[in-house]
């Protein structure tokens, strides 16, 4: 946290500039015990890093593996903490929906998996990744599996040792997306107070 907050950890902080959001998330992703990210609908993965996504202006690439990323269109990154017990501190990334990529003939719902064959190229469907080829050609080494957040919605990031990860058995259900930022903060504050 000291790399992000050099003058002490605040109760709340907010960033809206895409480069600053990316820089903060890059630091969070580099901390192996502080980087567990929950998705808006269900599930979660560890955040490994972040960068502005050059293929779609105004978007961030959230790295979740060597050749896999989540692409989101953020509007704000929030940080919330509750006193000296940092196990309940979290980041919340508010995201807007992305347009469907056109790689599929039917909309994919809340997210779509596509393959970026190379920078500046159109997306290919997920089946290209599974088959290792697209239109009769092997995938180039630059190919990258991308999950695009077409449904938008917030993501939250907690430390792996957080009670949110252990005492709340259903936190992978996307409950944070059913509450606005203030409501979710109140929900976590109640949990932090009762623990």
Q: Is the pLDDT of residue 169 over 70?
A: no
- 6 pLDDT band, cuts 50/70/90, is confident
* Average pLDDT rounded to a whole number, residues 129-134: 95
Q: Is the pLDDT of residue 2 over 80?
A: no
Lowest mean pLDDT among 40-44, 77-81, 151-155, 168-172: 168-172
Q: Is the pLDDT of residue 193 over 60?
A: yes
What is this structure's pTM? 0.91
Q: Each residue of 10-22: b (16+ CB within 10 Å) or e?
A: eeeeebeebeebb
Is 3.40.1570 the CATH classification of the domain at 12-98+149-194?
A: yes
Q: Is the pLDDT of residue 111 over 80?
A: yes
* Average pLDDT rounded to a whole number, residues 84-101: 91
């Amino acid at each position: 946290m000291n790399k992000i907050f050099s003058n002490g950890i605040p109760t709340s902080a907010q960033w809206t500039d895409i480069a600053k959001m990316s820089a903060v998330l890059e630091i969070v992703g580099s901390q192996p015990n502080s980087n567990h990210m929950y998705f808006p609908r269900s599930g979660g993965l560890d955040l490994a890093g972040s960068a502005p996504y050059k293929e779609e202006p105004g978007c961030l690439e959230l790295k979740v593996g060597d050749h896999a990323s989540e692409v989101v269109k953020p509007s704000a990154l929030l940080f919330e903490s509750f006193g000296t017990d940092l196990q309940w501190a979290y980041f919340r990334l508010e995201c807007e929906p992305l347009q469907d990529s056109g790689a599929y003939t039917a909309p994919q719902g809340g997210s779509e998996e596509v393959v970026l064959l190379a920078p500046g190229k159109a997306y290919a469907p997920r089946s290209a990744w599974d088959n290792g080829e697209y239109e009769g050609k092997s995938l180039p080494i630059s190919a990258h599996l991308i999950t695009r957040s077409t449904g938008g919605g917030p993501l939250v990031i907690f430390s792996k040792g957080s009670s949110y990860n252990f005492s709340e058995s259903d936190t992978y259900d996307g409950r944070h997306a059913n509450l606005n930022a203030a409501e979710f903060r109140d929900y976590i504050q109640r949990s932090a107070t009762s623990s």
